Amino acid sequence: MFVDELTITASAGRGGDGVVRWRHEKFVARGGPSGGNGGRGGNVYMRAVRDLGLLAKYTGSKEFKAQDGEAGQKSSRHGEGGPDIYIDVPVGATVTDAERNRTYTFLVEGETHCVLKGGRGGLGNEYFKSSINRSPEESTKGKRGEQGTLHIELSLIVDAGLIGLPNAGKSTLLNALTRASAKVASYPFTTLEPHLGDLHGCIIADIPGLVEGASTGKGLGHKFLKHIARTKMLIHCVSLENENPVAVYELVRTELGKFDPELLQKDEWIILTKADLISEDALAQVQVAFTKAKHQVAHVVTAELGEGVKELGDALVRFIRKNDVVATA
């Protein structure tokens, strides 16, 4: 299961209480106050890791809590601070704390932000000692740490995104290239969530099929167009079962441009799929039509039969590694 949105609750630790203590040492009269301060509560940090399926692991346990700080001790010893906790999120995640109007983005592996601060420790009676208050009885309680509801939204950052109309053969191609297990069927919208596959260290995503009007929310609409924004390159699958493959290709391009014109500037390969459904002469005519429309076909494949898959995979890996740059939203 792939999860691209999740809401969790988290709490930073409470600060430890300050204490009232007195020095009791042999031969030392009126030893004075010696109550230490409490330790601070643990902070809650979020840290980016390269695991795009990570959010699915949190669906069964959505509550996180840092430990409280220790109370102060005698002999002027302060309590230890509560250990911080780290919640890992996938690279590409945006975390929103609506209560405090805070937003954090995680675009680089290892990037870390403190999202909730632990409470300050209380003060022991030694803190209140002064020239006019030599025997203070005061101490303070530790402060409560920040608590909140955090919404995590993941915009996929992948090396290549498979796009195209529903039933264009994207899932079948992903499975053939990467040994993924995306659902495949002979009807549209079998892919309702993006699926991921690993091609020799290159991450490929099967983006659910787009339809005319997707840029205005029709079909699966904006929910998946936003994922395409974080791909480094696009693999545009056009099924040869369509009567006019060029028109189908241009329809999807139009929806991309309406949603975000910058998507049209990404590197793109056109892959003609289901080549076994037409004759060699008909295939040649389709390729000529793409050339006349000033579109260059990169590969022709029949993923179900494995034809052209290895050649496509090898070429993709070479291209991605040669042009390995961070994707921009």
Q: CA torsion, points 302, 327, 3, 224, in degrees to nearest 10?
A: -70
The Cα 204–Cα 10 span in angstroms is: 32
Question: Which of 154-177 are b and which e, b meaning 16 or more Cβ less than 10 Å from the residue's Cβ?
Answer: bbbbbbbbbbbbbbbbbbbbbbbb
Supply the pLDDT for residue 215.
40
Give the tens place of pLDDT for each residue, 84-99: 999 999 888 999 999 9
Report helix angle 245-259 to 280-292, nearest 10. 40
The Cα 193–Cα 223 span in angstroms is: 9
Higher per-residue confidence, 6 vs 213: 6
Cβ count near 46 (within 10 Å): 23
Give the tens place of pLDDT for each residue, 176-222: 998 776 555 443 434 445 677 888 878 888 876 554 443 444 444 34
Please compute the mean of the pLDDT values over residues 269-291 and round it to a whole number. Answer: 95
Supply the pLDDT for residue 203.
83
Please compute the mean of the pLDDT values over residues 111-120 and round it to a whole number. Answer: 97
How large is the C-alpha radius of gyration of the chain?
Answer: 29
Supply the pLDDT for residue 327.
41
The Cα 106–Cα 89 span in angstroms is: 8
Supply the pLDDT for residue 54.
85
For each of the domains in the chain, give its residue range(s) and CATH number, in order of start. Answer: 5-154 (2.70.210.12), 158-322 (3.40.50.300)
CB 306 within 8 A of CB 176: yes
> Is residue 320 helix, strand or coil?
helix
Please compute the mean of the pLDDT values over residues 271-292 and round it to a whole number. Answer: 95
Supply the pLDDT for residue 44.
98
Average pLDDT of the chain is 85
Supply the pLDDT for residue 35.
93
Supply the pLDDT for residue 263.
81
In this prediction, residue 328 has a pLDDT band, given cuts at 50, 70 and 90, of very low
Please compute the mean of the pLDDT values over residues 22-40 and round it to a whole number. Answer: 82
